């Protein structure tokens, strides 16, 4: 086995004579896998039905001759301009009715049968031609589905939406019930009266919005399915499509079972001190999507990206440190966008493995050094790749809830991702590895499950979470959880649903989110913090985002609000049950307080926190298989105190000094 190393390779941007030097340079850099043809449709099919594969044959043969394996894209991510010229109805339309034009990329309506048919036709040719190419390692379907166009409001999409709704609800009566159209005179008399949630006079029907989110995710998945069907008919090579971390428009829980290997594109901001912690959360999601199986980091930047307003380069060592973070959290491949930095086009300022400045550059030297290091690890058969990452704690994650809790006309403004990140970071900072799970999944493998802001919860999910608490698990429900069922109908009688109300011993009487003055109800303003207190929080601290009036039925308050009408009302509650417990947290405690609360809950759940592996720096510690990976994300040196020999430096770990961005990999049997 090997840890894949490589990147997107777009040789059509360069003259033929560059290709040979590319392969030589790839060999020098330890590259083992190249993603090819992601944006090649217009080159492969220069006009409808006319194909030019010769150059791609050449590319694949050249790579193969150099020993580079190929992740071959189906090239359908960006149709050629001729498609829009001949079929303008394939161009996507915004909710304001603006039809988007050619000239950038991904300009297709996901529901367009014309686009899908053209894409299938191309994929068929690709598979026929390359299914048996000796360089082929992986099929790469399309690219970053929905990255720019995930919602289309055109008439073609409208028709597809109606078909999808008819399949979901069966009858217009059932849809009317689910959407609550009795209110605001929205009752539909027939499916053909329904439109996508286009620009409207005011708030659009919430369930219509949610269904349009589901529909839109499904339509992209149908595009993927259509291509996969073509490939599977002719090829046994594994298939992937590259995910994009926590990407709101697409429900990856529904996609993950359909890929042979999960792969991910993530571009943390080097200028953001939270990026390493945020990236850790993304890696954990990718591992969880594949059910714990190894995944591939398909794209990251060698240094700066080009699409932020201001694009900082990665600090020296940062690319290596973040690459090992992915490996530590389950990745068996470390790839980049892109091999050679473009000379022209929209991404010319996106860094490349071979920069504008050539190989006498820091960026290339770091690329080359990491390639050599990974080759050595694979050659030494240390067995990191292919191994699993154990976790006793899980966070319930749910796209329906993400879509719904961020809708307008809600109690307050919540960033679902910020809430998730707060909890993931608090737990990770204690040295605990966290999986993500669906709330209806088998939770028996975990000792602690956290369900924060799980706004939309089916009866089955409510029961599953409650059963977990009843059967000895420790459940933490956060504010905003199980407010509604899958149709966005309120769970009446105190929210949460009866099983969870019982498991937690509480019900919620009224929301009381912090709010800022707004004389004439326009604009937003910042929400003020809410003071809370409690030993589990470390005393008097602040909460953010949310507050509410929680009634104790059969639980004890472990922290309380301390100001205004909320004063004395519970902010954190706990109900003991057979061996386990049900916690409820009615606000978002500030980071340090949340970490203290998380520590108390871990202790309550009987989960031992690992001993510190060193002092100084800012250490991320993750166990994978037989090893502990330690990364210093801080600005100062760290000194390790665990025994064993670091695979990377060959030094003995006790006393080993990790500089900023330093990494060590130490056998776990050496641990403590």
Active site residues: 144, 299
Residues sharing a CB contact under 8 Å with residue 60, sequence separation 6 or more, in sequence order: 36, 70, 72, 130, 133, 135, 136
Residue 285 near residue 246 (C-beta atoms within 8 A):
yes
Query: Exposed (0-12), middle (13-18) or buried (19+): which is 310, by Cβ within 10 Å?
Result: exposed
Residue 305 near residue 311 (C-beta atoms within 8 A):
yes
Residues sharing a CB contact under 8 Å with residue 318, sequence separation 6 or more, in sequence order: 270, 661
Where b means 16+ CB within 10 Å and e means fewer, 592-623 reads: ebbbbbbbbbbebbebeeeeebbeebbbbbbb
Q: Which stretch binds a copy of itself (CB under 8 A): 283-291, 313-321, 371-379, 453-461?
A: 313-321
Q: What is the DSSP string of 495-515?
A: SS-HHHHHHHTEEEEEE----
Q: Which of 392, 412, 458, 641 binds a copy of itself (CB under 8 A)?
A: 412
Q: Which stretch binds a copy of itself (CB under 8 A): 27-35, 307-315, 398-406, 620-628?
A: 307-315
CA distances from 454 to 117, 398, 400, 404 (A): 38, 7, 9, 10
- Confirm or reject binding of residue 410 to a copy of itself (CB under 8 A): yes
- Report whether 306 belongs to an annotated binding site: no
Quote the least distance from Cβ 208 to a copy of itself, whole Å: 6
Q: Which of 291, 383, 390, 564 binds a copy of itself (CB under 8 A)?
A: 564
- Confirm or reject binding of residue 324 to a copy of itself (CB under 8 A): no
- Confirm or reject binding of residue 378 to a copy of itself (CB under 8 A): no
Q: How far apart are CA 607 and CA 604, in angstroms?
A: 8
Q: Which of 67, 97, 291, 383 binds a copy of itself (CB under 8 A)?
A: 97
- Report whether 154 belongs to an annotated binding site: yes
Residue 100 near residue 149 (C-beta atoms within 8 A):
yes
Q: Which stretch binds a copy of itself (CB under 8 A): 370-378, 412-420, 460-468, 645-653?
A: 412-420
Q: How far apart are CA 483 and CA 592, in angstroms?
A: 27
- Confirm or reject binding of residue 343 to a copy of itself (CB under 8 A): yes
- Report whether 223 belongs to an annotated binding site: no
Q: How far apart are CA 567 and CA 571, in angstroms?
A: 10
Q: What is the DSSP string of 106-127?
A: --S-TT-HHHHHHHHHHHHHHH
- Report whether 307 belongs to an annotated binding site: yes
- Confirm or reject binding of residue 315 to a copy of itself (CB under 8 A): yes
CA distances from 603 to 99, 395, 419, 476, 539 (A): 56, 17, 22, 13, 18
CB-nearer residue toward a copy of itself: 38 or 384: 38
Query: Closest by alpha carbon to 670, among 642, 636, 648?
Result: 642
- Confirm or reject binding of residue 652 to a copy of itself (CB under 8 A): no
Quote the least distance from Cβ 249 to a copy of itself, whole Å: 13
Cis before 28? omega within 30 = no
Residue 448 has a CB neighbour count (10 Å cut-off) of 28
CB-nearer residue toward a copy of itself: 81 or 291: 81
Question: What is the contact mask toward a copy of itself in residues 504 to 523, using x (rule: CB under 8 A)?
Answer: ---xxxxxxxxxxxxxxx-x
Q: Which of 1, 101, 233, 460 binds a copy of itself (CB under 8 A)?
A: 101
Quote the least distance from Cβ 304 to a copy of itself, whole Å: 7
Q: Which of 224, 278, 402, 446 binds a copy of itself (CB under 8 A)?
A: 278
CB-nearer residue toward a copy of itself: 455 or 627: 455
Total residues interacting with a copy of itself, rule: CB under 8 A: 140
* Contacts to a copy of itself from residues 104-133, by CB under 8 A: 104-107
- Confirm or reject binding of residue 562 to a copy of itself (CB under 8 A): no
* Contacts to a copy of itself from residues 415-434, by CB under 8 A: 417, 421
Tokens 């008439």 -> residue: 155
* Contacts to a copy of itself from residues 472-501, by CB under 8 A: 487-490, 492-495
Nearest-5° Cα angle at 185, 180 to 188 = 70
CA distances from 399 to 249, 451, 464, 638 (A): 8, 13, 18, 38
Structure tokens at 196: 């996508």
- Confirm or reject binding of residue 269 to a copy of itself (CB under 8 A): yes
Residue 24 has a CB neighbour count (10 Å cut-off) of 11
Q: How far apart are CA 133 and CA 155, in angstroms?
A: 41
Q: Which of 309, 379, 578, 650 binds a copy of itself (CB under 8 A)?
A: 309
Q: Which stretch binds a copy of itself (CB under 8 A): 217-225, 299-307, 552-560, 623-631?
A: 299-307
Quote the least distance from Cβ 333 to a copy of itself, whole Å: 23
Q: Which stretch binds a copy of itself (CB under 8 A): 26-34, 263-271, 375-383, 572-580?
A: 263-271
Q: Which stretch binds a copy of itself (CB under 8 A): 58-66, 269-277, 383-391, 626-634?
A: 269-277
CB-nearer residue toward a copy of itself: 53 or 82: 82
Annotated binding site for substrate: 105, 143, 307
Annotated binding site for Zn(2+): 109, 152, 154
């Amino acid at each position: 086995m090997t840890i894949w190393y490589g990147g997107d390779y777009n040789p059509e941007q360069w003259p033929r004579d560059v290709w040979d030097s590319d392969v030589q340079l790839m060999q020098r850099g330890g590259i083992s896998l190249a993603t090819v043809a992601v944006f090649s449709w217009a080159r492969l099919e220069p006009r409808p039905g006319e194909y030019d594969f010769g150059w791609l044959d050449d590319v694949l043969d050249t790579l193969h001759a150099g020993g580079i394996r190929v992740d071959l894209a189906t090239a359908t991510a960006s149709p050629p301009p001729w498609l829009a010229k001949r079929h303008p109805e394939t161009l996507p339309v915004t909710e304001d009715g603006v039809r988007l034009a050619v000239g950038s990329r991904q300009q297709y309506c996901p529901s367009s049968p014309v686009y899908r048919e053209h894409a299938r036709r191309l994929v068929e040719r690709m598979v026929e031609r390359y299914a048996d190419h000796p360089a082929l390692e992986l099929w790469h379907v399309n690219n970053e589905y929905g990255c720019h166009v995930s919602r289309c409001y055109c008439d073609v999409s409208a028709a597809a939406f109606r078909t999808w709704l008819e399949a979901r609800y069966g009858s217009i009566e059932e849809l009317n019930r689910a959407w609550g159209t009795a209110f605001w005179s929205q009752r539909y008399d027939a499916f053909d009266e329904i439109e996508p949630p286009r620009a409207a006079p005011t708030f659009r029907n919430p369930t219509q919005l949610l269904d349009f989110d589901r529909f839109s995710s499904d339509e992209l998945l149908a595009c993927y399915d259509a291509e996969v069907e073509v490939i599977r008919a002719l090829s046994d090579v594994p298939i992937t499509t590259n995910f994009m971390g926590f990407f709101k428009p697409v429900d990856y829980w529904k996609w993950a079972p359909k890929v042979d290997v999960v792969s991910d594109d993530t571009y943390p901001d080097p200028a953001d001190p939270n990026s390493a912690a945020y990236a850790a959360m993304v890696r954990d999601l990718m591992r969880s999507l594949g059910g714990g199986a190894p995944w591939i980091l398909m794209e990251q930047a060698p240094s700066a990206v080009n699409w932020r307003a201001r694009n900082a380069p990665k600090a020296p060592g940062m690319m290596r440190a973040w690459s090992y973070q992915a490996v530590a959290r389950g990745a068996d491949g470390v790839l980049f966008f892109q091999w050679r930095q473009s000379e022209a086009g929209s991404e010319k300022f996106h860094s490349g493995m071979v920069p504008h400045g050539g190989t006498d550059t820091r960026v290339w030297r770091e690329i080359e050094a990491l390639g050599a290091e990974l080759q050595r690890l694979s050659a030494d058969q240390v067995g990191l790749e292919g191994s699993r990452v154990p976790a006793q704690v899980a966070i319930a994650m749910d796209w329906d809830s993400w879509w719904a809790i961020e809708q307008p006309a809600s109690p307050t403004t919540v960033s679902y991702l910020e809430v998730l990140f707060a909890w993931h970071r608090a737990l990770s900072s204690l040295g605990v590895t966290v999986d993500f799970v669906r709330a209806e999944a088998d939770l028996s493998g975990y000792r602690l499950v956290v369900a924060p802001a799980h706004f939309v919860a089916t009866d089955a999910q409510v029961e599953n979470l409650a059963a977990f608490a009843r059967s000895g698990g420790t459940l933490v429900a956060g504010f905003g959880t199980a407010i509604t069922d899958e149709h966005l109908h309120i769970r009446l009688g105190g929210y949460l649903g009866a099983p969870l109300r019982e498991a937690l011993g509480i019900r919620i009487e009224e929301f009381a989110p912090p709010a800022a003055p707004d004389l004439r109800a326009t604009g937003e303003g910042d929400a003020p913090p809410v003071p809370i207190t409690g030993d589990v929080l470390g005393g008097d601290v602040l909460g953010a985002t949310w507050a509410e009036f929680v009634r104790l039925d059969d639980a004890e308050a472990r922290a309380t609000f301390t100001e205004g009408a909320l004063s004395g009302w519970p902010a954190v509650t706990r109900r003991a049950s057979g061996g386990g417990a049900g916690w409820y947290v009615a606000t978002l405690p500030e980071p340090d307080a949340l970490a203290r609360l998380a520590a108390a809950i871990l202790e309550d759940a009987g989960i031992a926190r690992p001993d510190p592996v060193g002092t100084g720096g800012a250490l991320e510690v993750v166990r994978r298989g037989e090893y502990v990976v330690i990364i210093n994300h801080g600005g100062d040196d760290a000194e390790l105190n665990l025994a064993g020999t670091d695979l990377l430096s060959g030094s003995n770990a006790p006393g080993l000094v990790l500089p900023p961005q330093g990494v060590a990999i130490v056998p776990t049997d050496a641990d403590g």
